[in-house]
Amino acid sequence: MESSTVPSSTTSQTWRNNLNNNPILQTVRQFLSKFPLKTYKPLCKSNELYGPRLYIWGPGWKVGQRTSFDQECLKWQTYLKIAQCDFDIRDANEPLMSPSGKLPILILSEGEVLIDELIKNYVEDTKESNKLGQLSEEQQADSQAFITLADTKLRHALLYTLWCESSNECDTYEKYGRRYANPIDKILMYQAKNAAIKEMLINIPVLNRDDIYHEASDALQALSVALGDNPYFFGQRLPTFIDAVVFSYLHIILEFPVTSANDLNQLVNKHKNLVEFTKRIYTEYYEQEF
Amino acid sequence: MDPDDKFPQNAEEYLRQSQTIRAKAYETALQNFQKLVSEMKDYSCHIHSFRIQGTKRTRQSLFESVVNPALGAKTFSSILNEVNIAADKLQRLDIFQYPIYVDFDSSKDPLAQPNAIDVLLSVEEKSRFWIKTGTEIGNDAGSANISLNIRNVFGGAETLEAFMSASTQTSHVFEFCLAKPINGNPDSKIDITAFSLTRNNQNFSSHDEILRGVALRWRGLSRLGFHELSYGSTWRQVCNIAQQATLSVRESAGHSLKSSLIHNFVRDRRDDIMLPSRGYYLRLFQEIAGLGGDVCFLKAETESQLNFPLGKGFILSTSLRNGILFQTDGQKSKISDRFFLGGAQSIRGFKLNGIGPREEKKDSLGGDIYVAGGLSLFTPLPKLHQHPVKGHLFLNGGSLLQLNPSQPLLKSIKGLRRAPSVSAGIGIAYRSSILRLEVNFCLPLLATTTDKLQKGLQLGLGFNFW
C-alpha cells in the first residue's frame, strides 16, 4: 500500500537494491565466484605490438627496395620516416584490413587504427625533437596548393599509367593482383581498375591520354620551378609533408618498370632537380637502413 | 418421450450393423485376395503392357528407368513387388499427388500371349511452382527464409530451388540449386548449387565473412547411411573488421579461394533428433582442399552420440566429437577454415565460441584441432510425465588448439590434454515441436584464463545439441 505513494523510479531503484542485497543472491554470487575451480594459462601466444606498425603494399617495384609500390602507402611511409618516428613496416598487401578499404593503416601498440589524416595528426602530436622543417603561414598555404596540384594532376597521370595503359597491365597485375588465386585475381583487378577510373572521372570529364600527360607535365614544371636548387621545398633545411607527397609520386614514377608507354617517366626525367630530389630523399631515409 | 428419439437410435443401430457387415465383407475379401495372391505367387506370367496415365510434362525416359526392373519380372508375386517398388519410387520423386493408383488386368490385347498382364498407373502431376516460407532458430541465431521452387523442370523430376534467407547471424543467404535424381532413383540425387552468403561473426570474432561459391554434389544412400560427396569452390572474404578487433583478426582479413572435395557421412539411428531417448548418431566429415585455389589442407571431423534408456524415464546420453585441420602447404590456417568451440549447444557454461585461442579476452581466433565430449543424464520430472520435459544433469568438456606448423603433429595433439575446459550443471530440457529449449545452471569447473565463461543461468535454443 505504501509503495504506491513512492515515485516509480525510486521503487525500481529500491527494488533493485533489495535484490542486490538479497542474502540468497549474495550467497549465490559468492558461490559462483569460486568457479572455475582451476584455471590454466593459454597455450597460444598472443600477437602483440611493441610499437606502431604501418601496414602497406610492398615490397617496392625493384628488388630489395623497402619503399612501398603504392603511392598512398609511400606517402605516409615517407612522412613517418622523415619525421623519424619509430615504426615497424609490414607488407600486408590486403586492403580489407583497413577500415576505409585502403592501405596504409598505422596500428599503435594500444590497438588504435589510424588512416590518412589521422596519421598526420599522430606524427604532429608525437614528434619530440624537430625533425621536420618549419613552414611560415604563407608557405603552408603554398605547400597546400602544391600538394593539391600533385594529388590531382600527378595522381591522374599515375593512375592512368598503372591501370589504363595496356602495356603496363602485367606489371600492375604483378604487384596488385598476383597474390590472389585465379580467378579472384581477375575480378579484383577489374574492380581496382574501375575504382581508379572512377576516381579520375571525378575531376576530368573525359579520359584523354594526351590531356592527362600534358597536365602532369605542367604540374611537374611548376614543382620543378618551386623546388629550384634547394634540397627541399621552400628552401627548408629539413623536409616537410610536401616533400613526402612529391617524393611518393616521383619515386614510383621513376621506379616503375620502363616500357614504351611510360611517358610519365620521361616527363619526370626532363627535370634534373626533381630527379636529384627523389634520389636524395631515398638515399637519406631508405638506404641508410642497410 | 419424444417420438422422434427412436428414429436416430434405430438409425445408429442400423449404421453399426451395416458397418460390421461391411467390415466383415472387406476382411473376407482381403483374405480371399491374399489367398489368391499367395496361391498365384509362383504363377508364371509377365507384363505385356505398362501404361501410365495422367502425365503431361514428365518425360518417358524417367518412367522407363523407374519401371524397367518390373518388366523383367517373371512370376506374379515378383511383378506385384516390382510394380509396388516402382510406384513407391515415383511417389517419392515428389512430382505426383498422393496416392498413385495401380491397376492390374489380364491383357486385352488380342496379340498378347497367355498369362500376360497389363499394368496401369494413374498419376496426377503436382503443381509446378511452389513457394515456401519459414523461420528457423539454432546456434544462437534466428532466421527467416523464403524458397521458390520449380518441380519437374525438364520432365525428369529435376527440382530447381532459389532460396533466400535473412537472419541475425548470417546476414543474408542466396542459394540456387538444380537437382536431378539419377536413373529416377529418389535416394540418389546429383545437384549443382551456387550460393552467396554473408556471415556475421562480429559477436565473437569482430569480422564478417562473405562466401560465394559453386559446387557439384551427389547425395545418396548406401547400406551404411547417408552420403554426400561434393566438389566445390568457394571465394571467402574476411572483411568489415571491427574498429576494436584484435590484431590477429585484422591480419586475417582478405580473400581466399578454397577448392575442395568433401565427403560427409551420416548414420542416424536415434528415435528423435532433438531429444533422443535411444539410438546412436555418427557423422564423419572429410575435406581435401588444394585442388586449385590458394588454400591447401586436410580436414576431418567426427561426431558421435549414444543414447541409452535407463528405464523409468531416465536417459543417459553421451557424445564425443573431434576434428583436425592440417595445412598441407606449411602455411598458417585461415580463420574461415578453423574450428570454434563453446556455447549452449556445444560446451555449456561457456559463451558462444568462447573456448580456445583468443587474444585479449576478446576475439576468438579458432583452432586447428579439438576434442569435446559431453555426458548428460535426463530425468523424468514429477507430474510432467506426459510432457516432453526432462530434468537435465550434465558434464561437458573440451579443448581447442592451434597447430604450430613448426612443431610435430603428435606434440600438438598431446597439448589438448594440458588445458581442458570443463563445466557441469543442472537444468531442464524441453522439446517443442520445432526446437529444443534448455535452461541450465552452469558451473565452469576448469577453464583457461582466456575462456569466456557463462556462469549461472544459460539458455539454449536449437535442434542439434551435443
Do A201 and A252 share a domain, yes or no? yes
Which of A39, A90, A115 to probe the B interface (max B CBs under 10 A)?
Answer: A39
From chain B, the residues in CB contact with A41 under 8 A are 419, 448-449
* pLDDT score of B40: 74
Do A121 and A247 share a domain, yes or no? no
Residue B369's CB is within 10 A of a number of other CB atoms, namely 22
Tell me the pLDDT band of B331, cut-offs 50, 70 and 90: confident
Tell me the pLDDT band of B21, cut-offs 50, 70 and 90: confident
Full residue range of the structural domain in which residue A85 is found: 53-126
* pLDDT score of A10: 60
- Work out how many domains chain A is built from and give that number: 2
Tens of pLDDT, residues B291-300:
888 999 999 9
pLDDT reading at A260 higher than 50: yes
Candidate ranges B269-278, B281-290, B450-459; pick with highest mean pLDDT: B281-290
Do A89 and A198 share a domain, yes or no? no
* pLDDT score of B335: 93
Cβ-defined contact of B419 to A40 (cutoff 8 Å) = yes
Mean pLDDT confidence for A86-112: 91
Do A146 and A284 share a domain, yes or no? yes
Residues of B with CB under 8 A from a CB of A: 235, 237-239, 241, 243-244, 246-248, 250-251, 253-257, 292-294, 357-360, 365, 401-402, 415, 418-419, 443-450, 453, 455-456
- Indicate whether A15 belongs to any domain: no
Last residue of a domain, one of A80, A95, A126: A126
Do A150 and A255 share a domain, yes or no? yes
* pLDDT score of B312: 86
Give the per-residue SS3 of chain B. Answer: CCHHHHHHHHHHHHHHHHHHHHHHHHHHHHHHHHHHHHHCCCCECEEEEEEEECCCCCCHHHHHHHHHHHHCCCEHHHHHHHHHHHHHHHHHCCCECCCCEEEEEECCCCCCCCCEEEEEEECCECCCEEEEEEEEEECCEEEEEEEEEEECCCCCCCEEEEEEEEECCEEEEEEEEEEEEECCEEEEEEEEEEEEEEEECHHHHCCEEEEEEEEEEEEEECCCCEEEEEEEEEEEEEECCCCCCCHHHHHCCEEEEEEEEEEEEEEECCCCCCCCCCEEEEEEEEEEEEEEECCCEEEEEEEEEEEEEEECCEEEEEEEEEEEEEECCCCCCCCCCCECECCCCCCCCECCCCECCEECCCEECCECEEEEEEEEEEECCCCCCCCCEEEEEEEEEEEEECCCCCCCHHHHHHHCCCCCEEEEEEEEEEECCCCEEEEEEEEEEEEECCCCECCEEEEEEECCCC
Name the least confident of A117-121, B75-79, B277-281: B75-79
Tell me the pLDDT band of A186, cut-offs 50, 70 and 90: very high
Do A111 and A163 share a domain, yes or no? no
| Chain B contacts in chain A segment 82-111 (CB below 8 A) | 92, 94, 96-97, 99, 107, 111
* pLDDT score of A3: 43
* pLDDT score of B175: 92
Using alpha carbons, list the distances in angstroms from residue B26 to B29, B30, B31, B97.
Answer: 5, 6, 8, 26
* pLDDT score of A6: 47
Using alpha carbons, list the distances in angstroms from residue A224 to A26, A228, A236.
Answer: 77, 6, 15
Do A150 and A87 share a domain, yes or no? no
Do A197 and A227 share a domain, yes or no? yes
- Indicate whether A28 belongs to any domain: no
Tens of pLDDT, residues B343-359:
888 999 999 899 988 87
Which of B244, B246, B250 to probe the A interface (max A CBs under 10 A)?
Answer: B250
Mean pLDDT confidence for B398-410: 86
Last residue of a domain, one of A66, A98, A126: A126
Measured between alpha carbons, how far apart are the two ends of chain A, in Å? 84
From chain B, the residues in CB contact with A49 under 8 A are 247
Do A144 and A257 share a domain, yes or no? yes
pLDDT reading at A5 higher than 50: no
* pLDDT score of A18: 76
* pLDDT score of B443: 93
Rounded Cα distance between B260 and B236, Å, is 13
- Indicate whether A231 belongs to any domain: yes
* pLDDT score of A12: 66
* pLDDT score of A290: 45
- A47 contacts B252 by C-beta, under 8 angstroms: no
Do A89 and A186 share a domain, yes or no? no
Q: Give which of B121, B70, B120 is closest to B95, Cα–Cα.
A: B121
- B402 contacts B368 by C-beta, under 8 angstroms: yes
Residue A256, min C-alpha distance to chain B (Å):
26
Tell me the pLDDT band of B7, cut-offs 50, 70 and 90: low
**Smallest CA–CA distance from B295 into chain A, residue:** A181
From chain A, the residues in CB contact with B246 under 8 A are 47, 111
Last residue of a domain, one of A104, A126, A148: A126
Is the bond preceding B99 in cis, omega lying within 30 degrees of 0? yes
- Indicate whether A187 belongs to any domain: yes
Q: What is the mean pLDDT of chain B?
A: 88
pLDDT reading at B247 higher than 70: yes
- Indicate whether A8 belongs to any domain: no
Tell me the pLDDT band of A68, cut-offs 50, 70 and 90: very high
Cβ-defined contact of A96 to B255 (cutoff 8 Å) = yes
What single letter denotes the amino acid at residue A213? Y
From chain B, the residues in CB contact with A27 under 8 A are none
Q: Identify the CATH number of the domain in which residue A273 sits.
A: 1.20.1050.10
pLDDT reading at A9 higher than 80: no
Cβ-defined contact of B244 to A111 (cutoff 8 Å) = yes
Do A106 and A162 share a domain, yes or no? no
Which of B208, B237, B255, B414 to probe the A interface (max A CBs under 10 A)?
Answer: B255
Mean pLDDT confidence for B93-115: 85
More confident residue, A29 or A188: A188
- Indicate whether A42 belongs to any domain: no
Here the ipTM equals 0.86
Name the least confident of A82-96, A124-138, B261-275, B306-320: A124-138
Mean pLDDT confidence for A169-192: 91
From chain A, the residues in CB contact with B257 under 8 A are 180-182, 184
* pLDDT score of A138: 92
Using alpha carbons, list the distances in angstroms from residue A137 to A83, A140, A143, A231, B242.
Answer: 20, 5, 10, 20, 39
* pLDDT score of A147: 94
Which of B207, B236, B241, B247 to probe the A interface (max A CBs under 10 A)?
Answer: B247
From chain A, the residues in CB contact with B239 under 8 A are 96
pLDDT reading at A128 higher than 80: no
Do A116 and A153 share a domain, yes or no? no
- Indicate whether A1 belongs to any domain: no
CA B12 to chain centre: 49
Mean pLDDT confidence for A163-167: 89
Q: Give which of B288, B306, B313, B307 is closest to B298, Cα–Cα.
A: B288
More confident residue, B291 or B8: B291
Tens of pLDDT, residues B144-198:
889 999 998 888 889 999 999 887 766 678 999 999 999 888 899 999 999 998 8
Cβ-defined contact of B247 to A49 (cutoff 8 Å) = yes
- Indicate whether A183 belongs to any domain: yes
Across the interface, of B238, B247, B293, the residue whose CB is closest to A181 is B293
How big is the A-B interface in CB pairs under 8 Å?
A: 94
pLDDT reading at B4 higher than 60: no
